[in-house]
Amino acid sequence: MVDALREARRVLTRRGVLIDVRPVVAPIVVEVVIDAQAIWAVEVASFSAPEDTVAADAAVQQALSSGWFGFEKSIAFDFEIFCDTAAELRAYANARKLRGAEIPYVELEARQRAMRGEGQALRLRCRRLWMLSTYGKDRF
């Protein structure tokens, strides 16, 4: 990871900007929604790769302390995924580093089925906190 930051610095112009955007190690919120309005929600722990996050943070700290970049700002935001079924959500989770997150697929299916019985058009929403940070080269 430090090598990637060194390479990023090399290819950036003198006043270039590095943008680092990635998920935060924080609970994921899984919801049953109607028109983006949550009617049931559960928070699940994300064990997708906390060691990766620790290593990435350490690499960034090393780059900062080495004077390669200067911190500018951070912006937190929710990243949302909408699915029709728990099976779709599981496929997404398995493909996108959410493997290991304790998403209660069986309960989601049951909730969705029960609420569908009431004639409502339901979807599943998975919300995860992400952070975007920017760093300037040779600006400090």
**Chain residues in the site for another protein (CB under 8 A):** 1, 3-5, 7-8, 10-23, 56, 59-60, 73, 75, 77-84, 88-89, 91-92, 97, 123, 130, 132, 134
CB of 86 to another protein, least distance (A): 12
CB of 7 to another protein, least distance (A): 5
- CB atoms closer than 10 angstroms to residue 15: 9
CB of 62 to another protein, least distance (A): 12
Tokens 């290819």 found at: 11
Tokens 């899984």 found at: 30
Contact 44, 104 (CB under 8 A): yes
Label the pairing between strands 123-136 and 28-34: antiparallel
Cα(133)–Cα(15) distance, integer angstroms: 16
Which amino acid, residue 8?
A: A
CB of 100 to another protein, least distance (A): 16
Q: How many residues does the chain have?
A: 140
